[in-house]
């Protein structure tokens, strides 16, 4: 354990305090809740290293594009050679929403938080390289530990499996994976005495893209579609803030019923079409209704196999996000489908990139966090196996204290 | 329980009956507990050797249950109060230890000995007020060097080794009357002379200039609490890990 865990408050400014740790480190902290007085000692949350480099890198990339564009007059998108391919995305909604990218061999390639709570949930655990079932167990344990589920309490977890490619057999395989994952989470909750409802659904890959465009996790977006179809007045903004169960509860809907409907007929693309204006209203000024509005005709012809390249409006939208987050695998797909910007002027490309970055930076608070995938390397001590080993030490320390207490009481 | 867990969260878990979280919290804050105990008793306390250490641990454990979120005060402030209270109770019972009580604890006791609870609260308030006064004084003195606390946040060496080296450089200045004089008179770090005394390069010294000056000021001036605070980590005995 090598982080300063406490510090003395040296100054307060607004919601911020400046503290000094026993190690002689000066830090500025933003605190929620009542601020401590100057001179008080406070407990520090674990230091989350947030290097400023994503922004710097982005700026560097823009600059590079400008330079390359003006000299060579063309910009190539280098395709990474042997990057492992994503076979599935597994999206877990508690209310922290996280997404795992999983390869063919069921190994987690990447884990990222889809909202700030999701990032917090992932901050202390390393899922990369784990088998997806193991990752699910760790996630559930971590959610327990962070207090999203309380012993003897209820709660919900929705697992959404999204195959990276289209096809019926992939959806079927996704269902199977979903079952395995829910079982894993249920086991954890059962052992902890939590009565949480864990459900899974499998949806089409396009839905994930639409969800991203709407700023929701795939699970939330799917439930929203289904809830809209059932007549609930769900709003994107509410779902971005609150958990699925809470939003639906307020509208007097039961999320499990809604999910059951989804399971019965998982063709969400069709539902999207049928919803049309209702969806548009739910999305507010989202980009999707525009697309839905003017391409209704050819949308009917669009099967689940339609590639994102067919939809110019929406394709553009995805790029807004990809510009910042570089989803492995998926990023490449869209690039190749969209056609290279090589013929375009370098300057124009740079300006577009800049505009997209700007749009990304101005994302709503509470909305999905548009940033790089969090890097969860195997930090020593943060390895889940170490964590599990530690939990086994249970109570030994407390027992010693109690013994000592009794011993002294006797004297 | 992973090491990176938020202690505030551990506290909430421990209060809701999670024994593992409780144990983890106590284990993590053992250095804090020992430092409070040492400060109250006025001598170094070793975990596993001194009864006072156990009393501190028990008191901290008690504080976890007594803590009320809506109270507003920081948990560690409450913990400190409870630890002192239990120690004083202990000394009173033992009697023989009375002479080693720190002055502060004694004063607090005589001031409001009638009401045992109020006594400790007053004691703690006094201590907090003293600390605040010390911090304000420190800020003022730093300002005379043109250093603000924000500067320190910005230029505080990030890496632990770098910080230790910077602190070591500060101790060299404190120990050397010539360097000390230079700093006090010119309000600047005697980089050239200091460079010869330590193994750190001049460039690094220059980069950590403000940090080093701040540390020297803290160690030189009459800042008992602060100087002891940043010293805590070096005194292995207090931490129980040498």
Residue B150 CA to chain centroid, in angstroms? 20
| Both tokens assigned to B147 | 């250093």
Of B86, B103, B130, at which residue does a domain stop?
A: B130
- Identify whether residues B166 and B117 lie together within a single domain: no
Q: How many beta carbons lie within 10 A of that of residue B123, not counting itself?
A: 23
Evaluate whether B14 touches B26 at the Cβ level (below 8 Å). Answer: no
Q: Which residues of A touch B55 (CB under 8 A)?
A: 408
pLDDT at B159: 84
Asked whether residue B25 is domain-assigned, the answer is yes
- Indicate the residue of A36, A124, A393 with minimum beta-carbon distance to B5: A124
DSSP string, chain B: --TTS-HHHHHHHHHTT-HHHHHHHHHHTHHHHHHHHHHHHSS---TTT-HHHHHHHHHHHHHHHH--GGG-S-HHHHHHHHHHHHHHHHHHHH-TTGGGS-HHHHHHHHHTTTSHHHHHHHHHHHHHHHHHHHHHHHHHHHHHTT--HHHHHHHS-SSHHHHHHHHHHHHHHHH-HHHHHHHHHHSS--HHHHHHHSSS-HHHHHHTHHHHHHHHHHHHTT-HHHHHHHHTTT-HHHHT--
DSSP symbol at A44: P
Residue B11 has pLDDT above 50, yes or no: yes
- Identify whether residues B39 and B151 lie together within a single domain: no
Q: What is the pLDDT of residues B152-166, one digit of tens each?
A: 998 888 888 888 889
> With pLDDT > 90 as the criterion, what percentage of chain A qualifies?
0
d(CA A410, CA B108) in angstroms, rounded, equals 29
- Identify whether residues B124 and B12 lie together within a single domain: yes
Q: How confident is the model at residue A356 (pLDDT cuts 50, 70, 90)?
A: low
pTM: 0.43
Asked whether residue B135 is domain-assigned, the answer is no
Model ipTM? 0.78
- Indicate the residue of B7, B35, B131 with minimum beta-carbon distance to A5: B7
Name the nearest CA neighbour of B122 among B109, B135, B132: B109
pLDDT at B211: 92
- Identify whether residues B29 and B108 lie together within a single domain: yes
- Identify whether residues B191 and B116 lie together within a single domain: no
- Identify whether residues B106 and B158 lie together within a single domain: no
- Identify whether residues B13 and B124 lie together within a single domain: yes
Q: What is the pLDDT of residues B127-161, one digit of tens each?
A: 788 888 999 999 999 999 889 998 899 888 888 88
Highest mean pLDDT among A148-152, A367-371, B43-47: B43-47
Residue A362 has pLDDT above 50, yes or no: no
- Identify whether residues B89 and B154 lie together within a single domain: no
> In sequence order, what are the residues at sequence separation of 6 or more whose Cβ sits closer than 8 angstroms to the Cβ of residue A85?
A103, A104, A164, A329
B161 touches A at CB < 8 Å: no
Q: Which range of residues forms the domain containing residue B100?
A: 7-130
d(CA B183, CA B189) in angstroms, rounded, equals 5
Asked whether residue B241 is domain-assigned, the answer is no
Asked whether residue B239 is domain-assigned, the answer is no
- Which whole-number Å values give the CA distances from A182 to A7, A176, A204, in the listed order? 41, 10, 19
Torsion angle defined by CA atoms of residues B10, B12, B17 and B21, in that order, rounded to the nearest 10 degrees: 0
Q: Which residues of A touch B11 (CB under 8 A)?
A: 43
| Both tokens assigned to B107 | 């004063």
Residue B158 CA to chain centroid, in angstroms? 20
Name the nearest CA neighbour of A408 among B128, B173, B178, B59: B59
Residues 320-349 of A with CB under 8 A from B: none
Total domain count, chain B? 2
Give the 3-state secondary structure of residue A148.
coil
- Indicate the residue of A6, A150, A405 with minimum beta-carbon distance to B76: A6
- Identify whether residues B19 and B108 lie together within a single domain: yes
Q: What is the pLDDT of residues A103-142, one digit of tens each?
A: 888 888 888 888 888 888 887 788 888 888 888 888 888 8
Of B130, B160, B195, at which residue does a domain stop?
A: B130
Question: Edge-to-edge strands of the sheet including A156-163?
Answer: A108-113, A97-103, A86-93, A156-163, A197-202
B97 touches A at CB < 8 Å: no
Asked whether residue B94 is domain-assigned, the answer is yes
Asked whether residue B2 is domain-assigned, the answer is no
Highest mean pLDDT among A149-163, B129-143, B193-207: B129-143
Q: Which residues of A touch B211 (CB under 8 A)?
A: 26
Of B71, B106, B130, at which residue does a domain stop?
A: B130
Asked whether residue B117 is domain-assigned, the answer is yes
- Identify whether residues B163 and B125 lie together within a single domain: no
pLDDT at A130: 83
Residue A308 has pLDDT above 60, yes or no: no
Asked whether residue B155 is domain-assigned, the answer is yes
Residue B81 has pLDDT above 50, yes or no: yes
To test the contact with chain B by mutation, choose from A4, A26, A117, A408 the residue with the greatest count of B C-beta atoms within 10 A, namely A26
B135 touches A at CB < 8 Å: yes
- Identify whether residues B57 and B149 lie together within a single domain: no
Name the nearest CA neighbour of B123 among B103, B137, B151: B103
Q: What is the pLDDT of residues B170-194, one digit of tens each?
A: 988 988 888 888 888 888 888 888 8
B61 or B45, higher pLDDT = B61
- Identify whether residues B98 and B31 lie together within a single domain: yes
């Amino acid at each position: 354990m090598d982080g300063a865990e406490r510090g003395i408050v040296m100054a307060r400014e607004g919601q911020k305090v400046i503290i000094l740790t026993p190690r002689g480190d000066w830090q500025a902290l933003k605190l929620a809740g009542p601020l401590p007085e100057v001179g008080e000692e406070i407990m520090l949350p674990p230091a989350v290293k947030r290097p400023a480099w994503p922004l710097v890198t982005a700026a560097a990339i823009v600059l590079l594009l400008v330079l390359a564009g003006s000299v060579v007059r063309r910009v190539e998108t280098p395709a990474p050679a042997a990057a492992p391919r994503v076979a599935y995305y597994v999206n877990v909604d508690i209310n922290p929403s996280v997404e795992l990218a999983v390869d063919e061999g069921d190994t987690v390639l990447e884990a990222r938080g889809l909202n700030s709570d999701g990032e917090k949930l992932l901050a202390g655990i390393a899922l990369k390289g784990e088998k997806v079932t193991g990752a699910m167990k760790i996630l559930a344990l971590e959610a327990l530990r962070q207090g999203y589920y309380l012993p003897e309490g209820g709660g919900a977890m929705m697992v959404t499996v999204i195959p990276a490619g289209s096809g019926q057999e992939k959806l079927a395989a996704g269902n199977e994976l979903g079952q395995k994952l829910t079982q894993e989470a249920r086991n954890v909750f059962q052992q902890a005495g939590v009565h949480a409802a864990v459900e899974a659904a499998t949806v089409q890959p396009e839905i994930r893209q639409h969800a991203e465009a709407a700023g929701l996790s795939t699970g939330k977006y799917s439930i929203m579609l289904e809830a809209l179809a059932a007549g609930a007045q769900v709003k994107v903004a509410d779902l971005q803030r609150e958990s699925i169960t809470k939003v639906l509860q307020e509208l007097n809907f039961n999320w499990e019923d809604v999910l059951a409907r989804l399971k019965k007929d998982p063709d969400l693309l069709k539902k999207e079409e049928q919803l049309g204006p209702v969806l548009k209203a739910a999305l507010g000024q989202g980009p999707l209704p525009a697309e839905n509005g003017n391409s209704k005709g050819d949308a009917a012809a669009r099967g689940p196999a339609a590639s994102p390249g067919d939809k110019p409006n929406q394709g553009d939208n995805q790029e807004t996000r990809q510009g910042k987050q570089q989803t492995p695998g998926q990023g490449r797909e869209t690039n190749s489908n969209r056609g290279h910007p090589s013929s375009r002027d370098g300057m124009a490309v740079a300006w577009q990139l800049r505009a997209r970055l700007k749009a990304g930076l101005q994302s709503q608070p509470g909305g999905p966090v548009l940033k790089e995938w969090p890097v969860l390397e195997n930090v020593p001590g943060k390895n889940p196996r170490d964590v599990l080993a530690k939990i086994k030490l249970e109570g030994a320390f407390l027992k010693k204290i109690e013994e000592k207490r009794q011993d002294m009481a006797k004297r | 329980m992973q090491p990176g867990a938020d202690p505030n969260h551990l506290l909430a878990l421990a209060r809701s009956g999670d024994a593992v979280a409780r144990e983890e919290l106590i284990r993590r804050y053992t250095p804090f507990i020992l430092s409070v105990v040492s400060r109250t008793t006025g001598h170094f306390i070793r975990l596993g050797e001194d009864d006072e250490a156990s009393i501190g641990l028990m008191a901290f454990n008690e504080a976890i249950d007594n803590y009320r979120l809506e109270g507003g005060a920081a948990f560690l402030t409450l913990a400190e109060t409870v630890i002192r209270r239990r120690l004083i109770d202990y000394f009173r019972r033992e009697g023989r230890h009375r002479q080693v009580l720190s002055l502060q604890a004694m004063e607090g006791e005589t001031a409001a000995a009638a009401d045992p609870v109020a006594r400790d609260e007053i004691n703690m308030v006094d201590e907090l007020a003293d600390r605040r006064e010390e911090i304000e004084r420190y800020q003022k003195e730093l300002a005379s060097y043109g250093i603000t606390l924000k500067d320190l946040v910005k230029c505080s060496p990030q890496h632990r080794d770098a910080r230790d080296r910077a602190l070591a450089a500060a101790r060299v200045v404190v120990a050397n009357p010539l360097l000390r004089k230079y700093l006090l008179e010119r309000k600047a770090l005697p980089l050239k002379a200091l460079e010869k005394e330590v193994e750190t390069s001049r460039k690094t010294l220059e980069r950590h200039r403000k940090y080093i000056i701040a540390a020297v000021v803290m160690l030189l001036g009459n800042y008992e609490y602060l100087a002891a605070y940043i010293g805590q980590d070096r005194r292995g005995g207090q931490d129980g890990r040498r």
